[in-house]
A and B are shown apart, each in its own frame.
Chain A
Amino acid sequence: MSLIAENISVSLGRARILHDLSFQARPGQLTAIVGPNGSGKTTLLRALTGELPHQGRITLGGADLAGMSVEELASRRAVLSQFAALSFPFTVAEVVRIGLQARGERAEAPVPAALAAVGLPGFAGRLYQQLSGGEQQRVQLARVLAQVWHPLDRYGARWLMLDEPVSSLDIAHQLTVMRLAADYARRGGGVVAVMHDLNLTAMFAHHVVLMARGLVLARGRPDQVLTDVALTDAYGCSLRVNTPPPQGTWILPHTAA
């Protein structure tokens, strides 16, 4: 049930964003895509969701993404995008339901359970547009989670594909969301997350893909990929990886004193 991209290229307009890139993510793992702004992380994620036309082949559990219907895709993976505008005054419960409704009302996830999982119990009746940015982001995550509530179904693993899931959250909720994603993977589901926070990545990811300039610079276990040399090269600023026991890895900018 792996998610595999083989030599894919993606162009947006005239600009070629991804160049002959290969990628692999396994169910049971949290795969993080990291890299500087404009390195193609989001474009790669959008290609992996089946949203963007691409050259090359992307397969999900052996099946070519290009040959899957939108309904089929929706039952295999759910997607959290970076920008989540909502145009009408829906309540939180109604927003979470939309993803289920679209596939025919089989209320798969108890809406309250999905909201509790993202730390928003009791928010069901609130109007989405009146929430803070961080709360809205977590409602969207609850919607995405509800769409693929069970990490495994009879067809195999299902996938959470998250574009910067913690970008506007406070530190406590960053941890809530990362634990939730890691737990989804632990229960057999697949998770692909575009991340900016290298420390959270080091803490939670099982597999890291480091991108720059539309290319994959390195991929592998966090301790293999998150190194001084690779990060400094990718981000263009001096970074130092510290691994003090027993806390794990810290990544700090290196400034000459």
Chain B
Amino acid sequence: MVAISPDLPLAGDRSQRGRRLALLLALTLAVTALVSLGWGASGTSLTRAVSDALAGRELAVQDRVVLLDIRLPRILMGALVGASLAVSGAVMQGLFRNPLADPGIVGVGAGAGLGAILAIVLGGLLPPALAGLFGWYLVPVAAFFGGWLTTLALYRIATRQGRTSVATMLLAGIALAAILSAVAGLLILRATDAQLRDLTFWGLGSLAGANWPKLAAAAPIMLLALLYAPSLARGLNALALGEAAAGHVGIRVQRVKNRAVLTAAAATGAAVAVSGGIAFVGIVVPHLLRLASGPDHRWLLVNSGLLGAVVLLLADMASRTAVAPAELPIGIVTAMLGGPFFLWILLRNRGVLEL
């Protein structure tokens, strides 16, 4: 962290380290995804399936269903959700110049949640033709719009004469989250028992519902946000100096801020829609990476995506098998690991963070 390895071109330049870490994380992600494909409570084994395929034998129906229709979409979904949560965390932290900022904190998560709950509870009231039209898209799209509208409202409140006050934004986010949760609570009162079960499971955070149609609905949004995020790196680096100084070094501050908010809202909205409340990935992952290779966003954003995907795949493996044949919601796994870690960050930084 503080020690600088001697082979760097210039002392204090950690981009070499960021690059190596990216390579390492990409490899780790590939391995984790493969292991995850062969991991599960059913007896399906990846090696058997591969040897069957190599020997030209037809795959057993059960194996094919488990591997291709259950595990594969779930792994892709897990990787995308993990990457999206971690990257929106890193983007929000850069934007707010605060290592503890997170889409969950500024109300984007709550907005997306309310959208999803609206879709689940009131979706049944839609005329069947319209409901059929939306199909799998209804919940993700509703959550996405919920997150988006919340972000816009937040922005309206916190921006005056073209300048966004970070403090106002954080405080307004807390107030908005409270209002949105209250509305969500009212809706839950009206929910049927079956809906209530759906909502509870969704609220705890789970990848259990992952399937191809859901993936097709949410993946494009997440991919777009993930691919766009690295282009914010220079702007976010400069913002670390403060808004005025970022402007002085040639950054269009307001534009960077707008785009950062939209990127984080899109990634969070889509991720929350398909997986519910998976907490702490957005705080823990960027924090670990800052310790490893520094806060330079040119590598932080890329590496957050990779590590976020790895972390969520690992958490998902734990959630699939810890209490098999039942399944532990993944949100419980991440909260049990991430919560204490978050407290550890707080305690370590006591007195350093200006909060």
B10-32 to A contact mask, C-beta < 8 Å, 1/0: 11111000000000000000000
Whether A125 lies near B251 (C-beta < 8 A) is no
Interface centre among B245, B252, B294 (most CB of A within 10 A): B245
Chain B's interface size range is 20 to 34
Whether A87 lies near B10 (C-beta < 8 A) is no
Q: Kindly identify which residue among B2, B97, B296 contacts A94, using a CB–CB cutoff of 8 Å.
A: B296
Whether A81 lies near B237 (C-beta < 8 A) is no
Chain B: which residue is nearest A100 at the CB level? B249
- Closest Cβ of chain B to A128, distance in Å, is 9
Given known pairs A51-B248, A89-B290, A93-B10, the reply for A102 and B2 (CB within 8 Å) is no
Whether A78 lies near B248 (C-beta < 8 A) is yes
Given known pairs A93-B13, A124-B12, the reply for A98 and B247 (CB within 8 Å) is no
Q: Which residues of A contact B246 (CB under 8 A)?
A: 102
Whether A92 lies near B12 (C-beta < 8 A) is yes
- Indicate if B234 sits at the interface (CB-CB under 8 A): yes
Whether A98 lies near B242 (C-beta < 8 A) is no
Whether A71 lies near B248 (C-beta < 8 A) is no
Given known pairs A93-B11, A94-B296, the reply for A75 and B4 (CB within 8 Å) is no
Whether A98 lies near B240 (C-beta < 8 A) is yes
- Indicate if B305 sits at the interface (CB-CB under 8 A): no
B226-240 to A contact mask, C-beta < 8 Å, 1/0: 000000001101101
- Compute the total of residue contacts between A and B using a CB distance below 8 Å: 101
- Indicate if A137 sits at the interface (CB-CB under 8 A): no
Whether A103 lies near B250 (C-beta < 8 A) is yes
Whether B11 lies near A81 (C-beta < 8 A) is no
Chain B: which residue is nearest A75 at the CB level? B250
- Closest Cβ of chain B to A14, distance in Å, is 13
- The size of the chain A interface, using a CB distance under 8 A, is 39
Chain A: which residue is nearest B3 at the CB level? A125
Q: Which residues of B contact A102 (CB under 8 A)?
A: 234-235, 237-238, 246, 249-251
Whether A84 lies near B245 (C-beta < 8 A) is yes
Chain B: which residue is nearest A126 at the CB level? B12
- Indicate if B241 sits at the interface (CB-CB under 8 A): yes
Given known pairs A74-B250, A91-B294, A94-B13, the reply for A125 and B245 (CB within 8 Å) is no
List A55-99 residues whose CB lies under 8 Å from chain B.
70-71, 73-75, 78-79, 81, 83-95, 97-99
Can you add 8 more A-B contacts, CB < 8 Å, to A89-B294, A94-B295?
A70-B251, A79-B248, A89-B290, A94-B296, A98-B249, A99-B238, A102-B249, A127-B2
Chain A interface residues (CB < 8 Å from chain B): 46, 49, 51, 70-71, 73-75, 78-79, 81, 83-95, 97-99, 101-103, 111-112, 122, 124-127, 129, 147
The 3 closest A-B CB pairs, nearest first, are A74-B250, A93-B12, A125-B11
